[in-house]
Structure formats: C-alpha cells, structure tokens
Amino acid sequence: MKKNFYLILIVLLSTIGVSRAQEAIHIGIIPFTPVDYNAGAVASLAEEQVASCFVNKGRFYLLDRGVTEKLKKELDAAKENTSLYSKVVAQQGHLAGAQYLITGKVNSVEITSSTSKNYLTAKTTTNYHGTLRVALQINSVESGQVIFQEPFTIVSSDYENNSTSDIVDNIMCRFKSAVRNKVRNLFSSDIAIIHIEKEKNGIPQKVLINAGKEMFEDGKNSNCEPTTSLGSLFTKKIVLDVIVVDNVTYGSTTAKREKKIGELKVDSVEGDVSVCDVSKGDKDIKAALDAKTPLIIKAQ
C-alpha cells in the first residue's frame, strides 16, 4: 500500500508540474528592426527591455532566440501583405509553440541639446537629452490578429554633460517602465477590489485587490532619475485607475463606455494580494461597491 501511495503521489506531483507549465503564457519576441544604421545598436537594447518585462517564470515563458530569429525571416517575407502576415503569425507561431508574438521597430534615436541663460548670473547652461521612438506590436497566434499596437516616444531626463551612455540608460529605463505598465493591463486577469481594509466615516481609505507579487513585484515603479537629481531620492508607487463600465445605447447600437471614477496607489504587495490607498474618487468608489457595479482596474 505504501508503495502504491508513493506512486500515486509522484503521478500527482508530475501532473501539477505539467499543468503549471501549461499555465505560463508562451511569448515570442522577434528581433527588433532598426530603420537605419544609427538605431541599430539601440534596437537590441530596446528588445532586451521588452524581454525583461516578461521575466516571470510563473506567468511567462520566452521562446529561444534561435526560434525567434527563424520566425523573423518568415514574418519579414510577409510584412507587405496584411492577410498573409496574419496567416504566417498563426501558422509559424503555432509551430514554434508561441501564444503571442511581439515585434518592434526602432524608428529613431537622437540626442539633442538646449541652451538657457540665467540673466541674474549671466551664466549659460547647456542641457542634453535623448529621444527614442519605437513602434511595438503584439499579435495573437490563435487568431493571427493584432491585439496591441502602439508607438512609444520616450524622452530622457536632462543632463548637463553629453554622456551618451547615461542618456541611453535613462531612455531604456523609461521605455521599460512604459512597456511594463502596458503589459500589466494586457496580460493580467481581471483585477478586483476584494475587501475594504480601512475606512473613515464609511468611506474606503485602503482596499485589498486580488493582484500581488506576480503582477506588481515590489509594488513600485522603476526610478529612472539621474542620481544627481532630487527625483532619484523618491520611488513612485504604482498608480491604478478605477473604471466603471456602462452600456451606452444610441439607436440600434450598443457600445461599452469606460469612465474613470478614481485612483488607487499600491501601498504594499502581500503575496497574491496588494493593499492600496484610495488616492482619488473615494466616494464614487464606495457608491460603485455598494451598488455592486462592475469595476475595471488598470495600471496607468
């Protein structure tokens, strides 16, 4: 009997392991395309920042580089034909074991300067900053269709010295933060307020939501500010929008309307849940919860 028990236990554990592996979302990040020579070196850095947003073994599995390089050749050959491109995404992506394919194009990267003069001291100051423009697209392999498409324009902090490496590092940090916020919304399950932790005069001050470390990590946004700036001393909390969804009917057509009614700030991440401060719209959020109105919660 003991032998049979251990056999059953091993089978159960292996089954759990398989189911967990299947739960991970399989992502293929296609090598990014630079539009010109100047953007070439930056394209690989931008690709790395996007990949780092999916470094979570519980939620995501990234396809090997060799696989995505082969996929890029197939996709590039079909990029001029939209319907053919969708078919290639569905067919080749499925063969590669991906659920989603991410492509990116670095359109430009430049470092510019601006000069200002202090008329009291007669001192002239030159500041340098960089600008990165990247177009990002995500296709569903199941349908072959685009589920996300957005151009990102990222501007760095100002630097007194023309230090290319510092400016590029700052741009990439900001780009990663922008992409990560989009990823949270796109690949997150429905986030809901599950408990009122603290209230004042019947109005919620702190709430508990059903999203934790897997989504928010430590609950803070990356601090990309230069160490010489005052902003480097502070770490910004993740801000979430609280949205009410209404069905709006005009004529014979019904459409969904999303209306923002408040904001939450992630105060602490505690395992599978997070404690949030209600920073805006406390009364409207209270009214929606009392009326059991469906709420959508998205990262800004």
Burial class (CB in 10 A: 0-12, 13-18, 19+), 73: exposed
At residue 21, the pLDDT reads 38
At residue 17, the pLDDT reads 40
At residue 115, the pLDDT reads 83
In angstroms, the CA 9 to CA 58 distance is: 22
Write the CB contacts of 131 (distance below 8 Å, at least 6 apart in sequence): 108, 109, 110, 111, 112, 153, 154, 155, 156, 171
At residue 233, the pLDDT reads 42
- Determine contact, residues 64/136, Cβ cutoff 8 Å: no
At residue 258, the pLDDT reads 87
At residue 222, the pLDDT reads 66
At residue 86, the pLDDT reads 92
Relative to beta strand 123-140, strand 146-155 is antiparallel
Q: Going residue by residue through the chain (300 aa), what tens digit of pLDDT does each one get?
A: 444 443 343 334 334 443 333 478 999 999 999 988 778 889 999 999 999 988 876 788 999 999 999 999 999 999 888 889 999 999 999 999 999 999 999 999 998 888 888 788 878 888 888 999 999 999 999 999 999 999 999 999 888 876 888 899 999 999 998 998 888 778 877 788 999 999 999 999 999 999 888 777 766 666 787 655 444 445 578 899 999 988 888 888 888 888 999 999 999 999 889 999 999 999 999 999 999 988 989 887
At residue 232, the pLDDT reads 42
Backbone angles phi, psi at 122, to 5 degrees: 65, 20
Identify the DSSP state of 84.
H
At residue 226, the pLDDT reads 65
3-state secondary structure of 256: strand
In angstroms, the CA 137 to CA 146 distance is: 7
Q: What are the chain's domains?
A: 21-115+134-184 (3.40.50.10610), 193-299 (2.40.10)
